[in-house]
Structure 1
Amino acid sequence: MENRYDKYKDSGIAWIGEIPEHWEIRKLKNIFLLSTGTTPKEYDKISEGDNLINWYTPSDILEGCNDLFSSLRKLSERVIYENKISLFPIGTLLYVGIGASAGKVGYANENGYSNQQITGLIPLECYSRFYFYYLSVLKDKIRDNAFFTTLPIINNVYLGQELLPYPLLSEQQSIANYLDQKCGEIDELITLQEEMITKLQSYKQSVITEAVTKGLNKNVPLKDSGIEWIGEIPEHWICTVFKKFLSEPMQYGANEPAEECNYNDPRYIRITDIKDDGTLRDHTFKSLPLEKAKEYMLTKGDLLFARSGATVGKTFLYKEDYAACFAGYLIKARCNKNELLPNFIFYYTLSNAYQNWKNSIFIQSTIQNIGADKYSVMPIIAPPLSEQQSIANYLDQKCSEIDELISIKQQKIEKLKDYKKSLIFECVTGKRKV
């Protein structure tokens, strides 16, 4: 490897291996002051004109390297004063010690404070930016070696005993500055790929919308659909309500807990199983015993609608060979396939026309909930059956091409993230000389 130090020694830390010979190993408590945050009295009392202070909770600290400038929740400066709270200074590392986010770390770019789930690592004899990178990239190693039974907990006693490589202060600063620059460049490349994915997703939705509302023939005469968010449609298409195409009334799913994972029983499909691309997550598989599932079994071509919560309106087209049933927060629609093809209506639910209809429902209600009564009277525009098939075939191919481009971008992002992580590891453990 290029840019190696002249001499190395064993660090004594299994996941670090060798470090440069002149580097030391020190305990975290000897280079940081550990100070756990709190939830002060009247923490939620904020008056007009109060000077607000950042008050960080685990939800502010995301995966990876987190530069923190502002928190979701704030404390009044009055509360800080009355509770005699000493704020964490700029450069403090905010370390999450409990719960699902245990091990995540953020770098405070402004004075602030935190709740009791976060420990402030206030630098004593170190350049904290260096250890921000170190703790970010090695969080899983530290977390995996912490002792806990069910709830992940990294307490201050354990954290303080953590052994860390300790280069010269000037080296710590040089390495941190180098990583600031390099990681900034990598992050820009990641952002560029993410922006391209967003554009591709927007393009995909526009392609779907154009096909399911205007058709494939650009020369056919058009007529007003009578629906504001749909506009003009081909003259020979019909516009009616969804229930006209159903072979049976819409059905709510089973109100049963998702406790079992038996691959010999029908899969129990829930809202949380459905990804944004309309496929199912493999790792969330749950099953339902056949005696409980039998009234809620799916057949090919059934369309599921989410009826409440953050995912309301999300749809899933069942076209699998395995047996499956569906849960209570989903509603099943079974179309008369002689009038409306499942593939066509599924693509319709991915269009802007469908999104605009959903938004019109939410305007009328303070609760984001769409029941079978509303789905049943959803406006549907439909071409003749043969044209539905042509449109569905066209979109199968076109969307597959766009999805492939999106997948390539996502793979590039993962490679960039992996490269960033390996670069940080090499620099903060001395494998690469800066």
Structure 2
Amino acid sequence: MNIDVSFAEDHQAPSPSRLTSLPPEWRVTRLRHVFTFSKGLTITKENLQDDGIPCVSYGEVHSKYGFEVDPDRHALRCVDASYLMNNHSSLLRNGDFIFADTSEDIAGSGNFSCYTSDRQAFAGYHTLIAKPKVPMNFRFMAYLLDSTSFRAQVRSEVTGIKVFSISQAVLKPTLVWFPPEHEQDAIAAFLNEKCAKVDEAVLIKEEEIALLRERRQILIQQAVTRGLNPDAPLRDSGIDWIGQIPAHWEVKRNSVLFREMKVSGHVDLPILSVSIHNGVSSEELSDVENIRSIIKIEDRTAYKEVKVGDVAYNMMRAWQGGIGAVSVHGMVSPAYVVARPSAALAADYFELLYRCPSFIRQMDSGSKGITDFRKRLYWDDFKNLMTLVPPRDEQAAIVQHIAEISKKIGDAVSIKEQQIATLREYKTSLIDATVTGKIKVA
């Protein structure tokens, strides 16, 4: 391979310490010498449509398709063909690299995808395009740009506190290096094979985790709707979507079980959140949660007090499972509903029950709104929902049983997550060692 570019300037510049051990026959240069740069389309999400010219935006770069993107294999949104008239610099060619110009964390700084299709396509909003101007093995370059040796250069120069931004000024001076052509080909082939095996192992672990979590949900559903005694006599609940229940259980309206509470909070109480994933938090909202999901009200007394044993739900997210039992004395957003048991009830049991798919569907059907994100489950609708009520001692036994199951499954998930982390660390170190010549493959 003949790279028609001068390397003199870059040999005189100091290199990052991790590059000092590159094989002597490898040539080092700046990114600006081997790529030309341009920007993606200056558009917003509202400009995207289902038909037209495919468009690779920063969302695809960050999370969807790894470092290869192809409109024949990946579902891309499109822009109108009229953009072809005046935006030629934003068009992609096979082998172009698309960088996301912003990231929510430092680890995502430098994320990119390589465009691997001959179809006409655009780079979209918040992207930078790096177009190769010298011959290279594009797969080798993708591994190089994904290596910790290259990423460290980018991360040391990005700007931002809550959103991290990169620019052409950050990318152009970074160092890249070129082995002889046959070594580039060998490195790409070696890493393709090894990384594919790691990715397959990760996928298997992720599928096992999904099955464990699905198993946990099935066990919860069985426990909160049928109890713990498989031999208990059953009866028809009289409600189609509930079906049969233990004969000694009751079905009651929430208005019988709970009363709505609207007591103002106190300045010294923690502000709690209600998550669709974790129910009611047990501590003050973090700054990240405040920024991303909730706007804090200056007057803390505008919040609603909640006590241990209450059930609180987010009116706007109840249809997604945004409900839970309260475990600490605190307060929640005035947009939330606080339901206090009228008698001795195990609130944790009702959290497990209400977060089951069949009961989430009931809350969904009781919510008012034209579209999903305008739906609200008001107290007057919540209080008319039907709820399964086992005896108090069985409620507690079910909660304890699910806690034990969740602990075992959680431990198994943690082991597999650690195995995935180890596999990904191995892949990262393998890529870095290979593209810097520490592992010889040719």
TM-score, length-scaled by structure 1: 0.82
Q: CA deviation at 1:148?
A: 3.2
Give the equivalent residue in structure 1 for 2:432.
425
8 Å CA contact 1:97–1:118 kept in 2: the answer is yes
1:134 and 2:144 matched: yes
Alignment map for 1:57-206 (pairs within 5 Å): 57-63=57-63, 65-70=66-71, 72-81=76-85, 83-84=87-88, 87-100=91-104, 102-110=109-117, 111=119, 112-125=121-134, 126-138=136-148, 140-146=151-157, 148=159, 152-206=164-218
Q: Which moved more, 1:292-301 or 1:152-161?
A: 292-301
- Change in CA separation of 1:280 and 1:175 when aligned onto 2, cut-off 3 Å: farther
- Change in CA separation of 1:249 and 1:158 when aligned onto 2, cut-off 3 Å: closer
Q: Which moved more, 1:160-169 or 1:291-300?
A: 291-300
Give 1:298's match in structure 2, choosing from 295, 306, 321: 306
Give the equivalent residue in structure 1 for 2:339.
333
8 Å CA contact 1:65–1:136 kept in 2: the answer is no
Give the equivalent residue in structure 1 for 2:4.
none
Q: CA deviation at 1:283?
A: 10
Higher helix fraction (1 or 2)? 2
Q: For 1:267, what is the secondary structure of its paired residue?
A: coil
Q: CA deviation at 1:266?
A: 3.2
Alignment map for 1:14-93 (pairs within 5 Å): 14-39=17-42, 44=47, 52-63=52-63, 65-70=66-71, 72-81=76-85, 83-84=87-88, 87-93=91-97
- Change in CA separation of 1:65 and 1:429 when aligned onto 2, cut-off 3 Å: farther
d(CA) in 1 for partners of 2:90, 2:402:
60
Give the equivalent residue in structure 2 for 1:4.
none
Give the equivalent residue in structure 2 for 1:3.
none
Q: Which runs of 5+ in 2 are unaligned?
A: 1-12, 291-295
Give the length in aligned residue pairs. Answer: 407
d(CA) in 2 for partners of 1:59, 1:399:
33
Q: For 1:208, what is the secondary structure of its paired residue?
A: helix
Alignment map for 1:252-271 (pairs within 5 Å): 265-271=268-274
Give 1:214's match in structure 2, choosing from 206, 216, 226: 226
Give the equivalent residue in structure 2 for 1:259.
none
Q: CA deviation at 1:140?
A: 4.8
d(CA) in 2 for partners of 1:352, 1:53:
39
For CA contacts below 8 A with separation 6 or more, give which structure has more relative contact order: 1
Give the equivalent residue in structure 2 for 1:344.
349
Amino acid across the alignment from 1:69: D
1:399-420 Cα deviation digits (max 9, x unpaired): 2212222222222222222221
Q: CA deviation at 1:358?
A: 3.3
Give the equivalent residue in structure 2 for 1:226.
238
Q: Give aligned-pair identity as a percent.
A: 23
1:352-391 Cα deviation digits (max 9, x unpaired): 3323323434698533332222222221011111222222
Q: CA deviation at 1:108?
A: 1.1
Give the equivalent residue in structure 2 for 1:406.
413
8 Å CA contact 1:213–1:381 kept in 2: the answer is yes
1:303-345 Cα deviation digits (max 9, x unpaired): 221221598432232324xx5321234322222352x211211
1:197-224 Cα deviation digits (max 9, x unpaired): 1111111111111111111122222222
- Change in CA separation of 1:342 and 1:40 when aligned onto 2, cut-off 3 Å: closer
Q: Which runs of 5+ in 1 are unaligned?
A: 1-9, 257-263
Q: For 1:233, what is the secondary structure of its paired residue?
A: strand
Q: For 1:165, what is the secondary structure of its paired residue?
A: strand
Amino acid across the alignment from 2:310: D
d(CA) in 2 for partners of 1:195, 1:252:
45
d(CA) in 2 for partners of 1:163, 1:369:
53
Give the equivalent residue in structure 2 for 1:249.
260
TM-score, length-scaled by structure 2: 0.81
